[in-house]
Amino acid sequence: MTSHHQSTQTMKPATAAKKLGVYLEATPADFREGVVSRTELNALQADPPEWLRDLRRNGPHPRPVVASKLGVSISGLARAGITEALTTEQIDALKAENPEWLQKERATQAEVRKEAVRLKEKKAQQAQKDAQD
Cβ distance 85 to 59 under 8 Å?
Answer: yes
**DSSP labels for 42-70?**
HHHHHS--HHHHHHHHH-PBPHHHHHHHH
pTM score, whole prediction: 0.75
Tell me the per-residue pLDDT of 24-77, one tens digit each, with 9 for 90 and over.
Answer: 999 999 999 999 999 999 999 999 999 999 999 999 999 999 999 999 999 999
pLDDT of res. 2:
45
pLDDT at 1 > cutoff 60:
no
